[in-house]
Structure 1
């Protein structure tokens, strides 16, 4: 078996229902899967695990998939090991990573993904596919024991990547400035994924898919664009 992942910038694009833009792609990802394990730990806006799972279930019911929240299992690690497919939703990456470590899920999750269990991550659920979570956009509202994450790709993710607005009077840091700061202390490349695009991982093959190009950042190099349907070779 080999890796089979979709690493998406977002769950929802403007004017569209939750996961709606991805559903045709998810049907293919989860071919032969009846039941998907949902990891709601990131809790966007502080939503409960049950309420978040219900949102995911509503979306996946459109492609006839059943969703079960990992929080309903007594042994979260065991739930990961036996899952047919897995989805980790967005929210706060610090909260998500803290819960993955607290519930002893990080390593089992890495192992099953390396062995081919189909996986969808959106936003925070995508952040954890990188080598570390250090290029998240989220506030550190909880304190994970480590920033190290799944390492499904040889770089870090910056979901919801925003280009500088030349018409804005905002004087704060741009996303590009923050990633440049990261590279003052770290060598790991960073992929900024814009809304509506995702990274497809099939074994060793890593491809950008979706509607928009991605921004690639490497230490001591000028950032550059990666077109959709292009192989990533970092």
Structure 2
């Protein structure tokens, strides 16, 4: 049975609350009692990020980047937390270091991602919002879930003067060339896969499918069909 997966849209709740306070309960349920390796490669300062994450999560996180062979450690890890930042930097480094293949092979590992870490859990990083600051050597990711996610999903703002594409328009462009469903996770939302069950928690989301109108999803929605369709 594949290890459980928890995919958070964000680490910092709105309104100035402390990081991860919106997801304390589900994080404790998902990671409690396990040795958790923190994957900091989405940001430039790995030491500072690992320290911040340990304090913010209140967990005894082990920094993967300080291991002599990070890939070997990831290959046998009981649980990982992949932090946010730039998705292209993250994928570039985990591919270069062999961590990408190690995480793919270690299906029993409990995977937690936030923002860019959520993007890495998908089949590809094609629905990230991030700027491609480095060539990651391909867009294929870990594939811990068979659908795509758009963390930090923002609804169209009819009062905005911004003339570029909205998130919805960009996801529609994705579906002009791809058939994979996309879950737009609003801030404060997460997806929790336990066995063959996928549930939306924390906040609302939107489901995008090719050729169909977006569907509003409320907390508690069962999305298990996404891993069997």
- Please tell me the TM-score bracket, short chain as reference: over 0.9
Whole-angstrom CA distance in 1 between matches of 2:21 and 2:55? 11
Displaced runs of 4+ in structure 1, greater than 3 A? none
Corresponding position of 1:27: 28
- Equivalent residue number for residue 126 of structure 1: 118
Task: State the alpha-carbon separation in 2 of the partners of residues 3 and 70 from structure 1.
Answer: 19
Specify which of 193, 208, 213 is matched with residue 217 of structure 1: 208
Match of 2:180 among 172, 182, 188: 188
Matched, 1:51 2:34: no
1:118 is displaced (CA, Å) by 2.0
TM-score normalised by structure 1 residue count: 0.91
Partner of 2:167 in structure 1? 175
Kindly state the Cα deviation for residue 207 of structure 1 after the two structures are TM-superposed: 0.9
Pairwise CA distance, 1:128: 1.2
* Counterpart-to-counterpart distance in 2, 1:77 and 1:225: 39
| Secondary structure at the counterpart of residue 201 of structure 1 | strand
1:85-113 alpha-carbon deviations (Å, 9 max, x no partner): 2100000000001111100111211232x
Q: How many angstroms apart in 2 are the aligned matches of 1:76 and 1:123?
A: 21
- State how 1:54-73 maps to structure 2 within 5 Å: 54-61=51-58, 65-73=59-67
Report how many aligned residue pairs link the two structures: 224
Alignment match of 1:94 (pick from 80, 88, 95) = 88
What secondary structure sits across from 1:157 in the alignment?
strand
- CA 1:169–1:60 in structure 2 vs 1: closer, same or farther (change >3 Å)? closer
Which sections of structure 2, spanning at least 5 residues, go unmatched?
A: none
SS at match of 2:49: helix
Cα separation, 1, equivalents of 2:98 and 2:2: 23
* Coordinate RMSD, CA, aligned: 1.3
